[in-house]
Structure 1
Amino acid sequence: MNKLKSLLILSVIITVLSACGNADETDTSNSEVASTDEVWEEVQEAGEIVVGTAGTLFPASFYDGEEGNQNHLTGYDVEVAREIGDRLDLEVNFEIMNFDAMLSAVDTGRVDVILAGPREGSEDSFGFSEPVKYSYSTMVVRSDDHSGIETLEDLEGKDAGGAATTVYSDIARKFNAEVVTYGNAPNEAYLRDVHNGRTDLVINDYYLQRLGISEFPDLDIELHPDLKFHPTTNNVVMDKEADVFMENVNEAINDMKEDGTLSELSGEFFHGDDVSQEPEEDIIEIEGIE
């Protein structure tokens, strides 16, 4: 993996957003059911799906070449979105934004969807597709003493690097850690701060943390060997009323699972791991965190 990719690794931000939509009836090209889905109508009329994404998150969404050029934007989430667009006969265009701005971007109609996971209460307001990725959370700690953490309760009083609105920061706060927030920074900043003692840990997605650590062998950090918690999924997220749009997206995702496309994309971006399959590990559920 080259240095460019190393600098682009960024902690995953699990957030949700939706596209604006109201009810109206029309026929669709991908369903025999009459549409009451204004979002789907608008997407078809535009001939494109606009996807909100960070563009700095290896291996989910990053530039493998000229930054700002969508031809060089790639990653698991990006290629999954493009494949869904192909199967729905729609173009896919990406809007690059800070993760903390994504929800408001959908509220204003700036984007149609993102790939993200459910948060507490979010399923009451937003629609979530079939999962395209399964994972769980873990934490990066210092190698010599695990940053003094052997149980989740040991997070009390620790400094956890993260973003303000992520589920990972919610977990840190639940166990009374202090969250040290970052902007749209590369993962090296998060990891180096654990190494040098500015922070004690970073909670994030298992697969991305593992890839991130492998790029910085000089740092005295590791994944905590015993703590695996908070199972997660990554889904296509859209307006809750976008029933026809969701039906068509789910059909595309199920086809991608059956024909092996999701497994192939996963292997390409996650070093051979198949994130489209549920993990078999015994994972701690955290009460009150969704």
Structure 2
Amino acid sequence: MRKGLLFILMLGLSLFLAACGSSGEGESSSDSNGGEEASNSDSKWSEIKEEGEIVVGTSGTLFPASYYPEGSDEMTGYDVEIMREVADRLGVDLKFEEYGVDSLLPAINSGRIDAAINDMEVTKDRQEQFSFSDPYKYSYSTMIVRESDLSGIETLEDLEGKKHGGGSTTVFAQIAEHFGAEIIPYDNVANDVYLRDVDNGRTDVVINDYYLQSLALEALPQFDVQLHPDLKFHPTNSAIVMPKGATELQKEINKVLQEMQDDGTLTELSKEFFGGKDASKEPEEDIQEIEGLDL
């Protein structure tokens, strides 16, 4: 079972590295119904109540947010279980539709889904096109480096000339490039490849989400790599995405999320899926904002 979970972890993290940090590719796409759907988005909550069902998009491939455990045909994960609880408290049925990460936001624009949940980072670009709930996950970026010398990196400025492993269109690659790093792109490989290459010197660093990297290191202890002990930067938050202007739906979901925050449900779910860590609250650490980089 542990081997199966490890495989899911590596696959899910690989997909996360390749896609989930995307700076917005595919977000503006829509079909011919997109404009009409956007103009009627304020009636979205009324439509959902009338149908008695909310249709939510997710990938089903992103551990530990949205995935299938080995041997199970039932999807689970932090995001999935949050959405199940939200729908239950809203008094509507929940139907999940699975999409590739780059197809989730266009599916909202086209009206094929009512909302999306898949560890979606709230960015300024996305806020111009979509409405977001209050955050249910708070995180920040960290970097995996070699244990022996921290890959020669003491500050973010030391990324200049270093080799960063990861997708070339991700937010994390944008951060690395901003500080002068060379991006070493990969195809769809498992997460152990990223860690192995930092260990053997093919690359120097992998920037990614703190919680995801923590889980990767726990699952793959055979490599002499670690999280950088001093560098914590680019605070992020994840939220449920809805059509632009869906104010009533946004209000109803926010009310439920606040209830779940107050009664400890978000904390309980986070600890279940993030190794005992509470991602539902803003981190107490001093997280460095990156100036001069518009994400």
Bin for the TM-score computed over the shorter chain? 0.7 to 0.9
- Segments of 5+ residues of structure 1 without an aligned counterpart are 25-35
Q: Secondary structure at the match of 1:281?
A: coil
2:6 alignment counterpart: 6
Are the aligned partners of 1:22 and 1:38 in contact in 2 as well (CA < 8 Å)? no
Partner of 1:214: 218
- Is the 8 Å Cα contact of residues 56 and 95 (structure 2) preserved in structure 1? yes
Alignment correspondent of 2:206: 202
Instruction: After TM superposition, give the deviation of residue 143 of structure 1 in Å.
Output: 1.4
Please report the TM-score for the alignment, with normalisation by the length of structure 1.
0.85
Select 1:151's aligned residue among 152, 155, 177. 155
1:97 aligned partner: 99
The TM-score with structure 2 as length reference comes to 0.83
CA 186–95 in structure 1, closer or farther in 2 if over 3 Å, else same? farther
Distance, in Å, in 1 between the alignment partners of 2:111 and 2:226 is 41
- Corresponding residue number in structure 2 for 1:48: 53
Partner amino acid, structure 2, of 1:78: V
Structure 1 residues 179 and 78: CA distance shift in structure 2, 3 A? farther
Matched position secondary structure for 1:74: coil
TM alignment of 1:118-129, pairs within 5 A: 118-129=122-133
Note the C-alpha offset of 1:248: 0.9
- Separation in 1, partners of 2:146, 2:171: 22
For the residue of structure 2 that corresponds to 1:191, the secondary structure is helix
1:121 alignment partner, SS class? helix
Q: CA deviation at 1:258?
A: 1.1
Query: Structure 1 residues 52, 14: closer, same or farther in 2, change over 3 A?
Result: farther
How many residues in Structure 1 have an aligned counterpart in Structure 2?
Answer: 276
Alignment map for 1:149-228 (pairs within 5 Å):
149-182=153-186, 185-228=189-232
Note the residue ranges of structure 2 that are not aligned, 5 or more in a row.
Answer: none
- Cα shift readout 1:102-124 (whole Å, capped 9, x = no counterpart): 33333333433223121233222
1:244–1:130 distance in 2 versus 1, CA, 3 Å = same
Q: Given the superposition, is the C-alpha separation of residues 22 and 228 from structure 1 closer, same or farther in structure 2, using an over 3 Å criterion? A: closer
Q: Name which of 54, 57, 65 aligns with 2:62.
A: 57
Matching residue's letter, 2:78: Y
Evaluate the alpha carbon distance shift between residue 220 and residue 232 of structure 1 in structure 2; reply closer, same or farther with a 3 A threshold.
same
Q: Which deviates more from structure 2 when the two are superposed, residues 78-87 or residues 158-167?
A: 158-167
Name the residue aligned to 1:130. Answer: 134
8 Å Cα contact 1:61/1:76 also seen in 2: yes
Instruction: Kindly report the root-mean-square deviation, in angstroms, between the aligned alpha carbons of the 2 structures.
Output: 2.5
- Asked whether 1:237 is paired with 2:246, we answer no
Does residue 284 (structure 1) correspond to residue 288 (structure 2)? The answer is yes
SS at match of 1:37: helix
Deviations 1:198-238 (A, max 9, x none): 32221111111111101111111110111100111111111
SS in 1 for 2:107: helix
The reply on whether 1:78 has 2:80 as its aligned counterpart is: yes
Alignment partner, residue 28 of structure 1: none
- Following the alignment from structure 2 to structure 1, what is the Cα–Cα distance between the partners of residues 135 and 44? 21
Q: Is the 8 A contact 2:38 2:244 kept in 1?
A: no
Q: Is the 8 A contact 2:132 2:241 kept in 1?
A: yes
Following superposition, the deviation at residue 101 of structure 1 comes to: 3.4
Q: Which amino acid aligns with 1:95?
A: E
Distance 2:93 2:183 in 1: 39
Distance 1:240 1:62 in 2: 27
Question: Which stretch shifts more, 106-115 or 225-234?
Answer: 106-115
State the partner residue of 1:31. Answer: none
Structure 1 residues 23, 274: CA separation in 2 closer, same or farther (over 3 Å shift)? same
Determine what percentage of the aligned residue pairs are the same residue.
Answer: 51
Deviates more, 1:206-215 or 1:38-47: 38-47
Q: Deviation of residue 64 (structure 1)?
A: 1.1
Counterpart position of 1:268: 272
Q: Is the 1:59–1:75 contact (alpha carbons within 8 Å) kept by the matching residues of 2?
A: yes
Structure number with the higher helix fraction is 2
Secondary structure at the aligned position of 2:240 is classed as: strand
